[in-house]
Amino acid sequence: MSHSTRPWSKPKLGHFTPGVWIAFASRIPAPLRSLTEGESEVAASGGNVRELIADLESKYPGIKERLCDESGDIRRFVNVFVGQEDIRFLQGLDTPIEAGAEVSIIPAIAGG
């Protein structure tokens, strides 16, 4: 099935399904694009980051284990932003996602 024929691809921002807001998980880093069929931006839904990751996992199996550690927390080398805010400084995985919010997954860059 091509990306353009999926019923959940590119929904209208702010579209509301009872109990679930649509959000964009964008800027999927290059190392994870093999799991998202090469897409750098994918649509996903959830009321908070935890639900959004679960939705991504249902569409792109294997992505959760790349984002979360064995205890279910975001891996320390993965940064997740809702809008411009790092979820580590908000409510972590329980950070709410408003309708049409942009969620970015950005790998940490080590340097020295």
Write down the pLDDT at residue 112.
59
Q: Rounded distance, CA 8 to CA 49, Å?
A: 18
Q: Would you say residue 6 lies in a domain?
A: no
Q: Would you say residue 9 lies in a domain?
A: no
**Cβ neighbours of 62 (radius 10 Å):** 10
Q: Would you say residue 112 lies in a domain?
A: no
Write down the pLDDT at residue 37.
87
- Is the pTM higher than 0.85? no
Residue 49's H or E segment, with its range, is: helix 49-59
Q: Would you say residue 24 lies in a domain?
A: yes
Write down the pLDDT at residue 6.
40
pLDDT < 50 stretches in the chain: 1-19, 21
Residue 106 to residues 5, 63, 66, Cα–Cα distance (Å): 27, 13, 12
- Residue 82: give the domain boundaries: 14-107
Q: What is the mean pLDDT of the chain?
A: 79
Vertex 31: Cα angle to 43 and 45 (nearest 5): 15
Write down the pLDDT at residue 2.
41
Q: Would you say residue 7 lies in a domain?
A: no
Write down the pLDDT at residue 45.
86
| CATH for 74 | 3.10.20.30
Which residue in 76, 88, 80, 82 sits closest to 23, CA to CA? 82
Write down the pLDDT at residue 12.
41
Q: How many domains does the chain have?
A: 1
Q: Would you say residue 94 lies in a domain?
A: yes
Write down the pLDDT at residue 39.
87
Q: Which two tokens stand for residue 22?
A: 């649509």
Q: Would you say residue 3 lies in a domain?
A: no
Write down the pLDDT at residue 25.
54
Q: Would you say residue 32 lies in a domain?
A: yes
Write down the pLDDT at residue 69.
96
Q: How far from the centroid of its chain's Cα atoms is residue 16's Cα?
A: 18
